Amino acid sequence: MRPCIRAVLLAGVAACAQQASAAGYGGQIVSGCVTNSQMQLLFQTTSGCAYQVQSNPTVGSRFWSDTLPPLSATGSLASVLAPAEPITGFFRVLEFTNHTFWYDWRYYSEEPWLNTWGLGSTQSAYIHTDRPYDWYIDQAETGVDADANCGPSSVTMAIKWYNQSFDKTATDARNKYPEGGGWWYTYDVINYLNLYSVPNTTSWFTGTNQLMGILNQGNLVILCLSTADLGLDDASEHRVGRFYSYVGGHFLVVKGWRIVGDALFFEVYDPYNWQATYADTTPKGRNRHLPAGDLSNAIARWWNYLIVIPPPGGGAGNAKQNSFILPVDPTQIAHKWGM
């Protein structure tokens, strides 16, 4: 896909947008004016291509709001009315070839980032369950028990994903179930979700097709797996595989999948980051990609279950409505630890 990013500053209730410089293949904002709390945007298009208007309070932010639904262009220009809320400072127009993309436009562009990140060259599908706010946690920053806090970090990330206003920390989770400062078990994760009334279902794991189906329905998944089965790739800018030396039981969160070339990858939030970053300062544990075969083995050989959290308002909370979930009673199964 070829995202065309045009940031346009809004200056006051009746201000007009400045024309952006040309580059790329459509999406250039030609003009814009605020009237009655709406922004009238006119932008260049290519017939047959799809575009979406997004807004952002500050041009430097990672997160862009999906202001309008995607539209299919039928000519060389398109005009739309977008909400111009007081906090909105910038608009951009994103051109895309399918209906899934990231708030940080670089993450969704195919070239050169996919190659740079060790994924491949051509992306054919991408699904994610991300949020337009930061919910990643580096367990290095979770207190005196940080070495063993992948469980508290993962469950706190999941609750923040489910409820943006959740203000507890991974340290709070650890303090609730101290476990002597050592490993958390899968039952601790489930109990903590239940403590804060976050719907969840524990399911048998049957394979990566099942995991894709669960994610396609907008759900989030917590895993307890063996990192020994995850291939090590510590190339400085690669975002594939394990980037640390630790091998053993470990919790992380699965939030998406993508197909690049013939390879299927699952996108995860891995809390075992220890302040490691890429050149662009992005944490290496955020949006790491695990090859499907590695992930399947890592689950099956450690704890062959999934902890599924639905999006607010539906999803896996009612397991009978989800054909991909095979519910089990978590009080009747063996549990495993992670750190």
Q: Give residue 214's pLDDT.
A: 95
End-to-end CA gap in the chain: 38
Residue 9 and residue 84 in contact, taking contact as beta carbons nearer than 8 Å:
no
**Which is higher by pLDDT, 36 or 59?**
36
> Is the pTM of the predicted complex or chain greater than 0.85?
no
Closest C-alpha to 98, from 27, 49, 25? 49
Closest C-alpha to 40, from 70, 61, 10? 10
**Residue 106 pLDDT class (50, 70, 90 cuts):** very low
Q: List, for residues 172-193, the tens digit of each pLDDT value.
A: 999 999 999 999 999 999 999 9
45: phi then psi, degrees, rounded to nearest 5 = -140, 170
Q: Give residue 234's pLDDT.
A: 93
Q: List, for residues 243-296, the tens digit of each pLDDT value.
A: 999 999 999 999 999 999 999 999 999 999 999 999 878 899 999 999 999 999
Q: List, for residues 107-151, the tens digit of each pLDDT value.
A: 444 445 788 899 998 888 888 888 878 899 999 999 999 999 999
Where, residue-wise, is CATH 2.60.40 in the chain?
8-108
Q: Give residue 85's pLDDT.
A: 66
What CATH number does the domain located at 139-338 have?
3.90.70.10
Per the DSSP assignment, residues forming a β-bridge with 257 are 127, 266
How far is 1 from 95, CA to CA, in rounded Å?
7
CA 136 to chain CA centroid, nearest Å: 9
Q: Give residue 33's pLDDT.
A: 75
Helix (H) or strand (E) holding 23: none
CA 300 to chain CA centroid, nearest Å: 24
How far is 323 from 335, CA to CA, in rounded Å?
24
41: phi then psi, degrees, rounded to nearest 5 = -110, 135
Where, residue-wise, is CATH 3.90.70.10 in the chain?
139-338
Phi-psi region of 103 (alpha: psi -120 to 50; beta: other; left: phi over 0): alpha
% of the chain exceeding 90 in pLDDT: 57
- Mean of pLDDT over the chain: 83
Q: List, for residues 244-256, the tens digit of each pLDDT value.
A: 999 999 999 999 9
Helix (H) or strand (E) holding 163: none
For the purposes of burial, counting CB atoms within 10 Å of the CB of 35, is it exposed (0-12), middle (13-18) or buried (19 or more)?
exposed
How far is 250 from 268, CA to CA, in rounded Å?
13
**Residue 100 pLDDT class (50, 70, 90 cuts):** very low
Helix (H) or strand (E) holding 29: strand 29-35
pLDDT of 331 higher than 70: yes
Cis peptide before 112 (omega within 30 of 0): yes
If you search the block for the tokens 């995991």, which residue do you land on?
Answer: 211
Q: List, for residues 198-237, the tens digit of each pLDDT value.
A: 999 999 999 999 999 999 999 999 999 999 999 999 999 9
**Residue 62 pLDDT class (50, 70, 90 cuts):** low
Residue 319 and residue 327 in contact, taking contact as beta carbons nearer than 8 Å:
yes
Considering the four listed CATH numbers 3.30.70, 3.10.450, 2.60.40, 2.60.120, the one that applies to the domain covering 8-108 is: 2.60.40
pLDDT of 99 higher than 70: no
How far is 60 from 169, CA to CA, in rounded Å?
26
If you search the block for the tokens 């992306």, which residue do you land on?
Answer: 123
Q: How far is CA 211 from CA 120, 219, 313, in A?
A: 22, 10, 20
